[in-house]
Amino acid sequence: MEKERHVLVIFPHPDDEAFGVSGTIATHVKNGTPVTYACLTLGEMARNLGYPPFATRESLPHIRKRELQKAAEIMGIQDLRMMGLRDKTVEFEDDEKMAKMVLDLVHELNPSLVITFYPGYSVHPDHEATGRAVVRALRRIPEDKRPKLHCVAFSKNHEAEIGKPDVRNDVSGAAEQKIGAMKAHLSQTGWMMAEREEKLKQKDPETLEWLHYEYFWTYDWENDRVR
């Protein structure tokens, strides 16, 4: 992985970072790179209340906040920003407000790399709105001063439309932190981690690939379709 000046990660929900970015985050931290994680909401409208359920609709925001803090601690993130937006309403926020929020972070932190969702290829409305806000914000920065933008994509049609990922990070050295970050989000991941750990014991190739490598798409500014 290339040494970065500062990495800014922007996702809408606690646990968005855990699935496919936590190894990258932990590796940057191990390399001495500052990482800021701006999490837009507390995921308070999530359908999962634990497995078996242990949260209520009222207690879930507090639980997810603690889970997020624990995951950040495991990954080594020292700068966790909780931006205070409401879960499942990010798409309804004012475009200019969202772009300014991102620009303020970029101007403050001067990151060389920003990580978010690829707009158009990340399924959930909050994911899409977050990716669009980041693109709108970075578009305003002159190309020679603009940080790199690495995106997560996983919609069914993504590779057919944007090709295969051009960034492959070997995060083998952060496997323990990656599993720990996943486990920290217990209310959302408890049901899947037992299965995933069993597959790791069986040396399932797909699960080992997930653990040791993370993939991103460099945003294609020449074909920028965000409005």
Q: What is the domain-level CATH number for residue 87?
A: 3.40.50.10320
Range of the domain at 183: 7-219
Residue 225 lies in a domain: no
Closest CA to 39 of 59, 63, 6, 69: 69
Q: Examine the pLDDT at 22 and tell me if it is beyond 90.
A: yes
Residue 139 lies in a domain: yes
d(CA 227, CA 77): 32
CA–centroid distance for 212 within its chain: 17
Residues 13, 87 contacting (CB under 8 angstroms):
yes
Q: Examine the pLDDT at 47 and tell me if it is beyond 90.
A: no
Helix ranges (H only) for the chain are 16-20, 22-30, 60-75, 95-109, 125-139, 158-162, 175-184, 186-201, 205-212
Encoded amino acid at 192, one letter: M
Count of domains for the chain: 1
pLDDT at residue 194 in the model: 87
d(CA 123, CA 100): 24
The tokens describing 138, both together, are 């970075």
150: enclosing H helix or E strand: strand 148-152
Helix (H, G, I), strand (E, B) or coil at 6: coil
Stretch 187-204: mean pLDDT: 93
Give pLDDT tens digits for 72-107: 999 999 999 999 999 999 999 999 999 999 999 999
Reported confidence tier of residue 54, pLDDT bands at 50, 70, 90:
confident
Stretch 161-185: mean pLDDT: 97
d(CA 11, CA 19): 12
Residue 2 lies in a domain: no
Encoded amino acid at 29, one letter: V
Residue 226 lies in a domain: no
Stretch 200-211: mean pLDDT: 96
CA–centroid distance for 145 within its chain: 23
Average pLDDT, the chain: 96
> How many percent of the chain have pLDDT more than 70?
100
Residue 1 lies in a domain: no
Closest CA to 116 of 30, 47, 36: 36
